[in-house]
Amino acid sequence: MRKIAIAVLVALSAALAAVPTPAFAGPADVVATEVEFTGAGGVVLHGTVLAPAQDAGKTRRPGIVMLEGAGNRGREYLMPEARAYARHGIVTLVYDKRTVGYSMLHRDYGLLADDALAGLRHLRSRSDVDPGRTGLWALSEGAFVAPIAANRSADVAFLVTVGAVGVTPAVQTAWAYGTYLEHAGVNGSLPGTMRGTTVRTAIGAGIFAEADFDPLPHWERVRQPVLAQWGRLDRDAVPGQSSQLIRQALERGGNTRHTIRIVDATNHNLHRTADDGFDRLPDLPADYGDAEARWIVDPRQESLPSGDFGPEPAAPAIGAPAWYEGGAVQLVAFLALLLAFAAYPVAAAVHRIRRGPRVQALRSARWLAVLGPATVAGTLLYLLVLLATAAKVTGPVVLGRPVVWLGLQLLACVTVIATLTVAWGLFQHRSADRIRLSLLTAGGLLFVPWAVHWGLLLP
- Which amino acid is located at 437 in the chain? L
For 143-155, what is each residue's pLDDT tens digit? 999 999 999 999 9
Whole-angstrom distance, CA of residue 184 vs CA of residue 199: 20
pLDDT at 31: 93
pLDDT at 300: 75
Q: What average pLDDT does range 335-362 have in this prediction?
A: 68
> Is 305 inside a domain boundary?
no
Domain shared by 290 and 359, yes or no:
no
306 pLDDT tier (thresholds 50, 70, 90) = low
> Is 311 inside a domain boundary?
no
- Domain span holding position 429: 323-453
pLDDT at 16: 32
Res. 57: pLDDT tops 70: no
For 70-120, what is each residue's pLDDT tens digit? 989 999 999 999 999 999 999 999 999 999 989 888 899 999 999 999 999
> Is 68 inside a domain boundary?
yes
Among 262, 297, 332, give the residue marking a domain's end. Answer: 297
> Is 356 inside a domain boundary?
yes
- CA distances for 98 relative to 29, 42, 101, 137, 388, angstroms: 30, 11, 7, 17, 21
> Is 458 inside a domain boundary?
no
Helices 142-152 + 109-124 axis angle, to 10: 60
Domain shared by 285 and 327, yes or no:
no
> Is 428 inside a domain boundary?
yes
Whole-angstrom distance, CA of residue 448 vs CA of residue 7: 83
Whole-angstrom distance, CA of residue 279 vs CA of residue 268: 9
Q: By mean pLDDT, which of 14-28, 104-118, 355-369, 384-398 is the weakest? A: 14-28
Domain shared by 156 and 227, yes or no:
yes
Report if pTM > 0.95: no
Q: What average pLDDT does range 428-442 have in this prediction?
A: 75
pLDDT at 3: 35
Whole-angstrom distance, CA of residue 248 vs CA of residue 237: 17
Domain shared by 289 and 427, yes or no:
no
Domain shared by 289 and 328, yes or no:
no
Q: How many domains does the chain have?
A: 2
Q: CA Rg, the chain, in Å?
A: 29
Domain shared by 90 and 223, yes or no:
yes
pLDDT greater at residue 458 or residue 428: 458
For 201-258, what is each residue's pLDDT tens digit? 999 999 999 999 999 999 999 999 999 999 999 999 999 999 999 999 999 999 999 9
Among 241, 263, 297, give the residue marking a domain's end. Answer: 297
Among 254, 281, 297, give the residue marking a domain's end. Answer: 297
Res. 5: pLDDT tops 50: no
Whole-angstrom distance, CA of residue 21 vs CA of residue 337: 63
> Is 35 inside a domain boundary?
yes
For 382-411, what is each residue's pLDDT tens digit? 999 999 899 999 999 999 999 999 999 999
pLDDT greater at residue 56 or residue 23: 56
Q: What average pLDDT does range 13-26 have in this prediction?
A: 34
For 254-273, what is each residue's pLDDT tens digit? 999 999 999 999 999 999 99
pLDDT greater at residue 254 or residue 343: 254
pLDDT more than 70, % of the chain: 87
Domain shared by 403 and 283, yes or no:
no
> Is 421 inside a domain boundary?
yes
Domain shared by 284 and 430, yes or no:
no
Domain shared by 107 and 256, yes or no:
yes
Residue 311, phi-psi category: left (phi > 0), alpha (psi -120 to 50), beta (remainder):
beta
Whole-angstrom distance, CA of residue 48 vs CA of residue 23: 9
Residues 6+ apart with CB under 8 A from 155: 117, 120, 121, 124, 131, 134
Q: What is the CATH number of the domain that holds 265?
A: 3.40.50.1820
Mean pLDDT of the chain: 88
Residues paired with residue 266 on neighbouring β-strands, in sequence order: 272
Res. 19: pLDDT tops 70: no
Whole-angstrom distance, CA of residue 99 vs CA of residue 78: 17
Res. 344: pLDDT tops 80: no
Domain shared by 286 and 329, yes or no:
no
Res. 21: pLDDT tops 80: no
Burial code of 25-53, b = ≥16 C-beta within 10 A, e = fewer? bbeeebbbbebebebbeebebebbbbbbe
Domain shared by 421 and 373, yes or no:
yes
26 pLDDT tier (thresholds 50, 70, 90) = very low
pLDDT more than 90, % of the chain: 74
Domain shared by 421 and 275, yes or no:
no
Burial code of 319-348, b = ≥16 C-beta within 10 A, e = fewer? eebeeebbeebbeebeeebeebbbbbbebb
352 pLDDT tier (thresholds 50, 70, 90) = low
Q: What average pLDDT does range 282-302 have in this prediction?
A: 88
